[in-house]
Amino acid sequence: MAADSANAFRGALGRIGWSVPAANAFTNEGFDAMDSLGLVTRDRLKDICKIIRRGTDGVAAVPAAGGNAAVAAAPGIPGIAIPMMWEYKLSGMHLWVSERLRQGTPVVAADFTAAIGNLYTRKVRELEEAKDEEDVQVKPPAPFSKETKWIPFFKLLVNYLSSVTGVNKVPLDYVVRKDDNVAAPDTEFETEHEKLVLLTPHTGTAFDKDNGKVWIQVKQLTVNGPAWTYVAPFEKKRDGRGAVKALNCHYEGDAVMSKSKAAAFDVLEHTTYTGERRNFGMEKYTNALSTAFQTLDEYGETLTESRKVDVFLRNNHCTDPKMLSGIAVIQGDADRMSNFAKAADYLALFTNTDTSQKTGRSISSAQRTSNNKKKPAIRAGNYTPNEWHQLSDKEKDEVRAKRAAAKASRDKNKRSAAAITRSSEKTDKGSADSVTNAGDQFALSNKKKKRKTVGFEGETSD
């Protein structure tokens, strides 16, 4: 049986170009079956190829001594040529064997054809190139809190795990895939990453280690938040997959799903756009609707593109003529009426143009009017709404300061006028003591007239 496996392995080596002596030398290193390639790394295979190229020195005979038997001479093994292309194709064979072992698929040497050998040799090159290009550091999502939405959080978690490889160099997002079973062997995959994720089983030593890695990350992101209630039962076994499945079961369950869909429909029903405001403009309006559409899609309530555009236009209550003309253009364009993104992008042009023009008018009027006159100087008096809108924040502060100073001056004048009035009263009283009765009547009359005048000029009254 072992001899048959070794012969089949040598036959597979022959199909990728290895000579018979080189194939024999390789199996003589202890590789008695093709699946034994999965026990070593590619670097160890390179070391073995070096040994075969170099050969081994012989051992001289050792004569008998002290009652021991003589040791016979061991002849050396001459080196055998192994071109670099053979070694590179051996790397492709190693990748094929490792992949099948990871998937739990039997390794049958007869299945490894020359075409498969070339295919997996190219994959080795692609993996090396991809590794050289890996310069993007993907960060894990922010810790899960009561404000966190599960579906975006889960997507970010998967995105992070896809950038980290496990024991067998498989992206760790295979651990948290929703399907427990692997894909059918004849499934067509769009990318090598997808193939690795969908064909790697959730069994074996490698999975146990990878599952523990995922647990560490999941615990770190949930331990201080509301999700820990559902994660804690898996702490003892360090079961990352089990924890994520529990979170999926809760946050994508019927109760949460119904609540999330109701909230999304409420946004579509009551979110309106009436024009650009400081805290809510076209961009926030579009994003609010887009998020609601996405939430419904994630929970199986996908709206058609035409329905999305209908909601987008129906909730637009802006009466600006340019905005209304933009809406009319969209309604007359079948392409935009069936594409939410295109409709939103087009209407944003009208919003931006309107804002730009307003900004332009503000800047212009802040410098000169259409009659080439400078704008009014900063003053404490009143401004029209249009004039006030044109002032910068700093200029408005100057106006407020001038108004405060003017008010303080008026208050001071009032106090001065009151003091003059009191002084006049005392003077008039002293004069009245030294005049005749007729003079008294005249002085009183004159005093009253003077008090009335002072009160009017000082804006005070007795």
Burial of 204 (0-12, 13-18, 19+ CB in 10 A): middle
Q: What does the pLDDT read at residue 373?
A: 46
Q: What does the pLDDT read at residue 113?
A: 93
Q: What does the pLDDT read at residue 415?
A: 67
Contacts of 88 (CB under 8 A, 6+ apart): 121, 124
Residue 163: DSSP 8-state:
T
pTM of the model: 0.52
Burial of 70 (0-12, 13-18, 19+ CB in 10 A): exposed
Q: What does the pLDDT read at residue 156?
A: 94
Walking along the chain (462 residues) 10 residues at a time, the average pLDDT comes out as 83 93 91 90 90 74 59 69 92 91 87 93 83 70 89 92 89 93 85 89 92 96 94 95 93 82 91 87 91 86 92 90 90 92 90 47 41 60 73 81 79 64 52 46 44 36 38
88 in Cβ contact with 121 (< 8 Å): yes
Long-range contacts of 249-252 (CB under 8 A, 24+ apart): 251/150, 251/151, 252/150, 252/151, 252/299
Cα separation of the two ends of the chain: 126
Cα–Cα distance measured from residue 403 to residue 408, given in angstroms and rounded to the nearest whole number: 9
